Amino acid sequence: MFQYAAGRALSLRNNSALKLDLSWFANVCRNITRPFLLRVFDIDIVEASPEEISKFVPSMLRKILRFYNHKTYIKENQFSFNKNTLNLNGNFYLDGYWQSEKYFKDFENIIRKDFTLKNIGNETQRISNTIKNTKNSLSIHIRRGDYIKNPRVNNYHGVCSMEYYKDAIGCVKNKVGDVGLFIFSDDIEWAKEQELFSGATFISSTKIKDYEEMFLMSLCKHNIIANSSFSWWGAWLNNNPNKIIIAPQKWFNVSKDTSDLIPENWIRM
């Protein structure tokens, strides 16, 4: 979603077409299996052809021979926001994660419209009605899964502590009063065992799609996110003008400049 948003904004600035390189999803040799899901949104997906990609992406041979255009192949070389990308003019291939709203903030309304779901299921509709009718609905996202089970991933990302969630809930309550908790997690049974979430509504991913969970997060009046781009987007797509968003101060276990990752009006704890 970050990659699409950055590319979409660049295409709008240049009044040019946006084409997506989806070859990563067809690479059966990679270790991560993940389907391409942007088609669930109200987006006109145009896939770049192998011939078009080859014009921009340097092969190993072309790198050795230096026979490619450095000026049109833009590789992200830092995690923090690079303002120079806003001034790119012409046709480019963007290679990176581009995890900052500053890459697309000037086209915020268009990006929000693009990330509208085409369809939602009956269970999602039922839960959405409950959220809308709950005073001070507060979504809490707990990312565990590979963050816990995979040592390499755990060492890199880490997980948010229960102290973080306790303090974050307290912060929101101090500002708005009583809240209605909606818990989202890839380990919902673990979440149900935590006393802190007693009385909450637990959203089961076995009954709804993961992208529907993101949609439901966005319907809550306020959000507490994990160190995860999944809940980042659930919070960013929240249209409540008075929303309170709590994000973890520590996003990685490794050293990275994340100062541009969290929007200025969110609270880091």
Rounded Cα distance, 60 and 97, in Å = 22
- Residue 205's Cα: distance from chain center in Å? 17
Residues 98 and 135 in one domain: no
11's tokens: 């295409």
Q: Which pLDDT does position 148 carry in this prediction? A: 78
Integer Cα distance of 81 and 24 in angstroms:
24
Among 114, 130, 162, residue at a domain's last position:
114
What is the layout of strands, in order, in the sheet containing 201-203?
201-203, 180-185, 137-142, 222-224, 245-247, 267-268
Return the CATH number at 196.
3.40.50
In the chain, the number of structural domains is: 2
Single out the residue of 224, 218, 230, 176 nearest to residue 200, CA to CA: 224
- Quote the percentage of the chain above a pLDDT of 70: 93
Q: Which residue, 117, 97, 78, is CA-closest to 4?
A: 97
- Distance (Å, rounded) from C-alpha 208 to C-alpha 224? 21
- The DSSP annotation for 179-191 comes to -EEEEEESSHHHH
Give this prediction's pTM.
0.92
Greater confidence (265 vs 73) lies with 265
Query: Same domain, yes or no, for 133 and 235?
Result: yes
Note the pLDDT of residue 231: 96
pLDDT tens digits for 93-115? 999 999 999 999 999 999 999 99
Q: What is the mean pLDDT of residues 67-79?
A: 76
Distance CA 4, CA 26 (A): 18
12 and 137 assigned to the same domain: no
Identify whether residues 229 and 151 lie together within a single domain.
yes
* Residue from 130, 124, 114 nearest 211 by CA: 124
Mean pLDDT (the chain, rounded): 91
Question: Is residue 82 domain-shared with residue 181, that is, in the same domain?
Answer: no
- Quote the CA–CA distance of 245 and 83 in Å, as a whole number: 25
Does residue 35 share a domain with residue 155?
A: no
What is the predicted pLDDT for the residue at 32? 63
List pLDDT tens digits, range 32-64. Answer: 677 899 999 999 999 999 888 888 876 654 444
159 and 263, same domain (yes or no): yes
What domain range includes position 19?
2-114
Same structural domain, 141 and 226 = yes
Per-residue pLDDT tens digits for 142-188: 998 778 777 887 888 889 999 999 999 999 999 999 999 999 999 99
Q: Mean pLDDT over residues 248-258, rounded?
A: 92
Q: 9 and 131 share a domain?
A: no
> Would you state the pLDDT for residue 59?
63
